[in-house]
Chains A and B, each alone.
Chain A
Amino acid sequence: MSVIRTVNLSKIYNPDTVPVYALNKVNIHFEEGEFTCVIGPSGSGKTTLLNMIGGLDKPSEGQVYIADQRIDQLSENQLIDFRLHHIGFVFQHFNLVPVLSAYENAAFIMQLQGRSKGETDTRVRELLSEVGLGERMDARPTQLSGGQQQRVAVARALASRPKFILADEPTASLDSQSAFNLLDMMARLNEEEGVTFIFSTHDQRVIDRAKRVVRMVDGRIDSDVRK
C-alpha cells in the first residue's frame, strides 16, 4: 500500500524569468515498511523532494498524496497539524531543544498532540529504552554524544506514531561508529516494527543498508532500484 504518492511533482524557481527546475515532473510512490534512501549530487533535488513529501514546502505544480490525502493544497496551519500527526522528522544537525532532557525532548511531540501524561510516559520510556537511552533519560542534549542525540531525535520522531519518518542526512554529522549504531537501530525498527524510513544521504554506509535506492539527477528520478 502506498504511503506516499507524487503526481507530476515540480518545483520551479524563477518561473517568470529563467526557470530553474528543482523538481521536474516527479512521479514516485513509497510503500509502507520501506527503508529507502534518496541519493544524488548536490542540487539534484533530493532535499526538495523530501521537503515536498514532508509538507515543509509547497510544489509549483503537481500533487502530493500521503495515505491518499492530498497535502499540497492544505493551508500552512493545516500542514503544521498534518506534520504533527503523520510525519516524523530526523534532521542532520540533531535539532533537539537544548533546555529539555532526552525524555522531555522525546515527549514534547506527544504533548503537542495533546496525548495524556500516562500514555506519553509509557511510550517515551519504551522508545528511549529501544534506542538504547533508557539510562540517560534525564540528560540534556549537551550531556549526550552526537550519536546519542540523534537517537533521541529518532525516538522523538517515532513518539508521534507517524506514517513514515523522513531523515535528511541523518549520519552526516556523526562519526563512523555512531553512524553505524544509528543505522543498525533504524534498520531494526524497520525490520521488527515495520517503521517506514526515507533518507536523503550522500553516505555510502546508509546506501548500503537501504532496501530501495532512488537516484535523482537535475530534479528528475534517474534510477529507482529495489534490492
Chain B
Amino acid sequence: MNTLTIAWRNIWRHKLRSLTVMCSVLLGISAGIYAAALMKGMLEGRFDHFIENEISHMQVHHPDFVREPEPAYTVATEGDALQALQGLPGVSAATARLKVHGMIASANYTGGVQLIGILPEMEEATTGFSDKLMAGENLSSDDGNRILIGYALAQKMKVDIGSRIVLTFQDVDQEIVSAAFTVKGFFQTISNRYDEGVAFVPAAYLGSHLRTGRAYHEYAILAEGMDRVEDLRPGVEALFPGMRVRSWDQLSPELSFWLEAGGVVSYAFIIIILLGLTFGLLNTMLMTVFERTRELGMLMAIGMNKRKVFALIVMETLLLAVSGAVLGLGIGYGLVRLSAKNGIDLSALSDVMRELGFSSIIIPDVDTTFLLLIPVMVVITALLAAVYPALKALSLNPAEAVRE
C-alpha cells in the first residue's frame, strides 16, 4: 500500500467536497484556457489584418520619407525593382505604392485622407485587397481617375458608387493639385479608423499628378512565412542601397508589443485563477488535517515518519488539483478546437469590434507551450497550497492527537 494509493483513497472520503474542489479547478483551468485562446485569436486577427492589409512583412522607404512623408522622397531604384524583389528567395509577393496626404471632399464633407496609389494586380497578390471590397468593383491597371474608399468614409461623405469626389494634395514641387475621382467601390476592413482614413487610386494616375515619374514612395514585401522575414533583409537591402528597410515589428512596434502583452496577459489570467484555487485547496486540506487529527496522530505514534506524513498531505493536494486540471485542460482545449472550426461569430457586435480594430470573427487559438505550462503551474499551486496544511499535520503531538 503506497502513499499514492492511500492519498487517492483519502480524497474520496468526502466525495462531494473533493468533487467540488476538482470542479472548481476544472472550471478555472478550462475558462482560463478559453479566455487566453480568445484573446490570442483577437490579437492574431488584428495582427493578420495589419500584415495583410496595411504593412506586409517588410517595407522600403526613402530615409527622409520615414521622418517626413513628402511626395518628393521616393525610393531610388535601379532597373525593375519589383521584378527583382519578386525573384528573391522567400518572397511571396511584392508591390509598390505612392502615398500622399491630402483633403477629400464631397458636397457634404471635407476631411483629411491618405491617398494610396496602388498597382492593382500586385496589390491583390500582396494584400488580397479584393476580399475587403464590399460594394462596387476593384481597381484595375487601366483605370484612370477611379477611387476606392472605405464604407465608413462613404457614409460620412454621403457618397455612393459612381459619385464624384475631389482630392487635393501637393505634388513633388509642393504645388497644390486638385483632381476629381469617381467612386468605383467601397472596402471594409476590421478597423473603422483605417476605413475612414485611407483611399486607393491607381498608382499610374496618381503618379501623373504627383509628377513622381516611375518612382514610388513605398515597396511592400510579403514573405513566405514569419520565419523568413529576417532572411529577406540582406537581399532587399542590396536591391535598395541607401534606402530604409524595416520589418513589421519596426514598422509597427505597438503590434509587436500587443502580441507579447497578449501572451503575458494569458499567463496572468491563469496565475490569477490558480491563485484563487490555491486558497480553495488550502482551505480544503486544512479542513482535512483538522478532521483527521486523531488518525494523523496515530500514524505518527505507530512510526510513520514526518517525511511520509508530509508526503501524504502533499500527495492528496496534488491529486485533487491535478485531476481537476487534467479534465480542465481537456475540456478547455476541446472547446478551443471546437470554436476554432468555424470561428466565433460576433457579427452582432461588428460595429463595436471594427471601432476597436478587431475582426468580428474570432478564431480562438492557444499556444502548445501555454498548454504544457499549465500542468506545471497547477503542480506549483498545489505544492504551495499543501505546505501549510502539511506543516500543520507535522506540528501535531501524537500523544495528544490520538486522544482527540
Contacts and interface: CB of A to CB of B under 8 A. Distances in A.
- Co-assembled chains A and B: yes
B301 interface: yes
B372 interface: no
B1 A91 contact: no
Contacts of B305: 77, 80-81, 84
A56 B398 CA distance: 7
Contacts of A72: none
Interface in B281-319: 294-295, 298-306, 308
B399 A109 contact: no
B292 to A, nearest CB: 9
A89 B301 contact: yes
A114 to B, nearest CB: 11
B1 A109 contact: no
B341 interface: no
A127 interface: no
B403 interface: yes
B217 to A, nearest CB: 77
A202 interface: no
B10 interface: yes
Interface string A96-115: 01111000100111011100
Nearest to A160: B303
Contact of B302 (A51, A57, A156): A156
A51 B12 CA distance: 33
A95 B298 contact: yes
Interface size bracket, B side:
20 to 34
A80 B9 contact: no
Contacts of B294: 93, 95
Given A91-B402, A98-B13, A99-B13, A80 B300 contact: yes
A85 B304 CA distance: 11
B376 interface: no
Contacts of A57: 397, 399
Nearest to B308: A112
Contact of B304 (A54, A80, A95, A157): A80
Q: Which of B1, B12, B299 has the most CB of A within 10 A?
A: B1
B4 interface: no
A60 interface: no
A113 B302 CA distance: 11
B302 A97 contact: no
B403 A97 contact: no
A128 to B, nearest CB: 15
Most B Cβ at <10 Å: residue of A56, A85, A98, A156: A56
Interface string A46-89: 00000100101100000000000000000011001101110001
A27 interface: no
Contacts of A77: 305-306
B6 A99 contact: yes
A157 B1 CA distance: 17
Contact of B399 (A56, A95, A100, A104): A56
A83 B303 contact: yes
A92 interface: yes
Interface residues of A, number: 31
A92 B299 contact: no
Interface string B1-40: 1000010011011000000000000000000000000000
Contacts of B306: 76-77, 80
A80 B303 contact: yes
Nearest to B8: A99
Nearest to A120: B1
Which of B6, B299, B301 counts the most A-chain CB atoms under 10 A from its CB?
A: B301
B298 to A, nearest CB: 4
A95 B402 contact: yes
Contacts of A156: 302
B1 A95 contact: no
Contact of B1 (A56, A76, A80, A107): A107
B303 A84 contact: yes
Contact of A56 (B10, B13, B295, B301): B301
B10 A99 contact: yes
B399 A108 contact: no
Given A98-B13, A99-B10, A112 B303 contact: yes
Contacts of B397: 57
Contacts of A95: 294-295, 298, 402
B403 A92 contact: yes
A111 B403 contact: no
A99 B299 CA distance: 13
B402 A109 contact: no
A97 B300 contact: no
A57 B402 CA distance: 13
Contacts of B403: 92-93
Given A57-B399, A84-B302, 9 more contacts: A80-B304, A84-B304, A89-B298, A93-B402, A95-B294, A95-B298, A97-B295, A99-B10, A112-B302
Ranked 8 nearest A-B pairs via Cβ: A84-B303, A99-B9, A56-B399, A95-B298, A51-B399, A83-B303, A57-B399, A80-B305
Interface of B: 1, 6, 9-10, 12-13, 294-295, 298-306, 308, 397-399, 402-403
